[in-house]
Structure 1
């Protein structure tokens, strides 16, 4: 999951550069999902060639259709939000995902909440703190701390060519984070009943391709936007198809089956630090005081949730050990009674 965060932040930076060349984010979603289908088909053929798959039911196909729709929504909102803002803000708003996922997991009964325990209290407080931090990053820019300059001493061309709308971008990214949280819940719901990560991701990508194509046809009236005109666009599409739509989704689905949706979402804040460095270094993004303060607040909330999660797992393990020891202690007593009789 840590490697997934590096891949995702690297992609956000690459996408920002590609969009500065005039690439449509709606068309990008279609191409990346379409290319990912071929990658997943090849991987599924190799992996499941000698293995039997569980049967697909109509109910499962409907759930995977919903998963594909959520994937389409996540990509559309996120990519549009990045176009209006920056990869740094995108990574900051994705840090809302653990909070949203935790709330949705409680509602769907995938997580238990008991405010009398320190672990649950820490998770609740951490959730609220994360939301506050994301709001700070979105609504408060503050003074520039680092202003990246190009080699001739002027602001970089990428920075000058992009007219960022910080608040609108943050709003779209927040909606994308909520959709991502719902996606994790649906992923867990599906994969626990149908434990075949590659097949689930493949079918979801097929649905997402058709859904995103419909959105692109409505949103983009100019047929020229479907034409790829730069190497950066090709690289970004290939990167997204292989490492994000295919690899990331398969890994996330597997982790949802093993650890649950909250565990997967907890790794999102790691991208904030990576994005700050990459955005300033490669894109010429200006580092603002609001981003730094918000990132710090988000990190505090994140670690509070992590601590609460660790305490809950520790409590469950201790209960298991205690119950095992108590049952072991009762066996000789019963045996002794049997001998006395």
Structure 2
């Protein structure tokens, strides 16, 4: 029983989050390749989230049958609408940033998410911080170390460690798009990664009131699709932009709808309910390590010393935070066990007292 609980609460979330970061890096690269073929990112967001909403359409019916859920009130509806608004804005500015820059820059700037999420979680009292506690010190130090490692990868190149001689596939081209403007792209991406922690916090609040991940993600995807379509019709009034051919654009939309908007959001929502927003945010620094590794293996990129050093620093910071979270959970579980033992000890005493009274 203990092993199954450990697997569900620790091993499964860890595996799922690492997998999702790998998928996100691949989807960003695929999206960049599709935009170079002329696809509008406004059209992309509307279609991708519509695909995800269509896949999750049966979820509200199954959720109500499988568990007892509280009634849907105005508070829950308003928070889901706010979640959709934040999500739509973050997706549009994020894909705009990738369109102007590259998936690598997106992965690099995403390392700001843990710091923003940690600060917001403290403000909303979703994370405990006691400066004298070793678990809190580990979370703070680990967050700073991870972000520092990310900046090492971005700012320090160093000599090459592994030189690849084979030709790279066409997906490498998006990293040096003629339209690239790293300053504008960086500003858009920074805005996205300020909105993402807000998404985590609102999602965590919704999960407390209405713990049905797939139902919430369905309505979220539906709202984002509608909002993105409205924005898209304003920015892309030409109907030819909404016609998708059977090429990489369609592949990008389907993959992003299935693995991004549907699977990724569902897994993130589940992990937020199970482990909290800071736990989910701490996996973002891994995205740049994954981006570098995938670039070397699949795109023929050269591996530089700065990437190796930065990846090592990110890993140290990541595991430091994981250690702090694990120790904090152990303390919480021991407190719960002690309270249960105390209550179990009091019940026989009360029963004996009643028997003596009789």
TM bin, normalised by shorter chain, reads 0.7 to 0.9
Counterpart residue number, 1:86: 102
**Aligned CA distance change for structure 1 residues 156 and 105 (closer, same or farther; 3 Å):** closer
Counterpart residue number, 1:16: 32
List gaps (5 residues or longer) in structure 1.
Answer: none
From 256, 259, 263, the equivalent of 1:240 is: 256
1:201 and 2:222 correspond? no
List gaps (5 residues or longer) in structure 2.
Answer: 1-15
Counterpart residue number, 1:98: 114
Aligned 8 A contact 2:150 2:285 in 1: no
Matches of 2:163 and 2:280, distance apart in 1:
34
The residue matched to 1:267 in structure 2 has which SS? Answer: coil
**Aligned CA distance change for structure 1 residues 196 and 246 (closer, same or farther; 3 Å):** same
**Aligned CA distance change for structure 1 residues 329 and 223 (closer, same or farther; 3 Å):** closer
Counterpart residue number, 2:55: 39
Deviation (angstroms), 1:147: 6.4
Task: Report the RMSD for the aligned CA atoms in angstroms.
Answer: 3.4
Matches of 1:27 and 1:272, distance apart in 2:
27
**Aligned CA distance change for structure 1 residues 171 and 159 (closer, same or farther; 3 Å):** closer
From 187, 190, 211, the equivalent of 1:174 is: 190
From 149, 152, 176, the equivalent of 1:133 is: 149
Counterpart residue number, 2:279: 263
Deviations 1:178-212 (A, max 9, x none): 22111111111012101222221122122211222
Deviations 1:65-109 (A, max 9, x none): 111112112222332333334333333333332322221111101
Matches of 2:26 and 2:247, distance apart in 1:
17
The residue matched to 1:96 in structure 2 has which SS? Answer: helix
**Aligned CA distance change for structure 1 residues 145 and 232 (closer, same or farther; 3 Å):** farther
1:188 and 2:226 correspond? no
1:61 and 2:42 correspond? no
Taking structure 1 as the reference length, the TM-score comes to: 0.84
Deviations 1:234-284 (A, max 9, x none): 111001111211122122212222222222223333333332222233344
1:307 and 2:323 correspond? yes
Taking structure 2 as the reference length, the TM-score comes to: 0.80
**Aligned CA distance change for structure 1 residues 181 and 220 (closer, same or farther; 3 Å):** same
Higher deviation after alignment, 291-300 or 180-189: 291-300
From 244, 253, 258, the equivalent of 2:269 is: 253
Matches of 1:118 and 1:234, distance apart in 2:
49
The residue matched to 1:189 in structure 2 has which SS? Answer: helix
Aligned 8 A contact 1:99 1:130 in 2: no
**Aligned CA distance change for structure 1 residues 323 and 305 (closer, same or farther; 3 Å):** same
Higher deviation after alignment, 161-170 or 209-218: 161-170
Matches of 1:334 and 1:53, distance apart in 2:
35
Matches of 1:137 and 1:219, distance apart in 2:
36
Matches of 2:35 and 2:46, distance apart in 1:
15
Higher deviation after alignment, 108-117 or 138-147: 138-147
